[in-house]
Structure 1
Amino acid sequence: MSDNLHALETWAGALLAKLQPAQRRAINHKVAIDLRRSQAQRIKAQQGPDGTAYPARKRRKELKGKNGRIKRQKAAMFSKLRTAKFLKTHADAGQLTVRFVGKVTRVARVHQEGLADKVAKKGPNYTYPARPLLGLGDADKTLIRELLLHHLEKL
C-alpha cells in the first residue's frame, strides 16, 4: 500500500507543483472534504480501508432482559466519531489532513491500533480488536486521482 501511495504522491505532486499556492490550497481543501466524507461513509458501513468488515462487538450480559430479550436496539459503532465535529480536515498549499480531534482521539487510536483500554471509568481493561477507522483504500486513491484530474481540467 505504501508503494501505491508513494506513486500517487509523486504523480500528484508533479502536477500540483505547477500551480499557484492559492490554487493548490483550494484543490487540497476540496480533496480533504471529499476524503472525509468517504471515510465517514466507510466507518458508517463498519468497514476497514481494505473493505473488510469490523470485528463484531463483544456481547454484554446486562443487555439481556427477561427470557433473552434485548433491552435496547444495537447502535452502530462510532456513530458520533464520524461526524464533522470530531473528524476534521485541514488543507494548505503543501498538505491535507483528515484526523480526529478532541477527547475522541484516544478512543479512535485504541480502536485503530487494537490497544488495551478501560471499558468504563473504574471498569476492567479490555484489549479491543483492531478496527481501522482512517486509512486509504483503493477506492480512496481513485477518488483522489479523479478529483485532482477534475480540478486540473477546469484550470
Structure 2
Amino acid sequence: MSDDLHALEAWAGALLAKLQPAQRRAINHKVAIDLRRSQAQRIKAQQGPDGTAYPARKRRKEFKGKNGRIKRQKPAMFAKIRTAKHLTVKTSGDQIEVGFFGWVARVARVHQFGQQENTPKKRAACKYPERPLLGFSELDRISVRESLLHQMEHK
C-alpha cells in the first residue's frame, strides 16, 4: 500500500511540477476538498478505510418519560467531528493535509488507535475500541487520481 501511495505521489508530482505555484496551490486545494468529502462520507457510513464497520457503541440506559417514550436519543457517532469545521484541510504548493487539528485531534486519536481516556468527574478511565477515522483506501487513491486529472483538464 505504501508503494502505491509513493507511486501516486511521484505521478502527481511530475504533473504538478509543470504548473505555476498559484495553479498548483489551487489544484491541491480542490483535490484536498474532494478527499475531505470522501473521508467524511466514509465516517458517516461508520466504516474504516478497509470497508469494515466500526465496533458498536456501548449500550446506555435510556431515559424514559412518564408515558414510556425515550426522552433523549443518542446522536449519530462522530456527527460533529466529520464537519468541515473539524475535519480540516491544509494545502500548499507541495502538500495536502486532511485531518483533525486542535482538541478534536485528541478525540480522533483516541478513537483512531483505540486508546484509553480519562472520563470527566473522576470516573474510571474508559478504553475505546479502535475506529479508524482517517485512512487512504483504494477508492481514495482512485478519487485523488480522477480529481487531479479533472482539475488539470480545466487549467
TM-score under structure 1 length normalisation: 0.90
- Residue type at the aligned position of 1:85: K
- Residue type at the aligned position of 1:26: A
Structure 1's unaligned 5+ residue stretches are none
Report the CA distance between 1:92 and its aligned residue. Answer: 1.1
Does residue 1:35 correspond to 2:38, yes or no? no
What number of residue pairs does the alignment pair up?
A: 153
Match of 1:63 in 2: 62
Distance 1:34 1:121, change over 3 A: farther
Equivalent residues in 2 for 1:74-89, closer than 5 Å: 74-89=74-89
Report the CA distance between 1:75 and its aligned residue. Answer: 2.2
The CA RMSD measured in Å over matched residues stands at 1.8
Give the SS at the match of 1:63. coil
Moved more, 93-102 or 24-33: 93-102
Report the CA distance between 1:65 and its aligned residue. Answer: 5.0
Note the alpha carbon deviations across 1:33-86, whole angstroms, 9 max, x for none.
1111111111111011111100111122x33659x9755323211111011111
Question: Using the alignment, how far apart are the partners of 1:104 and 1:121 within structure 2?
Answer: 20
Does residue 1:51 correspond to 2:51, yes or no? yes
Question: Using the alignment, how far apart are the partners of 1:132 and 1:121 within structure 2?
Answer: 27
Equivalent residues in 2 for 1:1-155, closer than 5 Å: 1-60=1-60, 62-63=61-62, 72-155=72-155
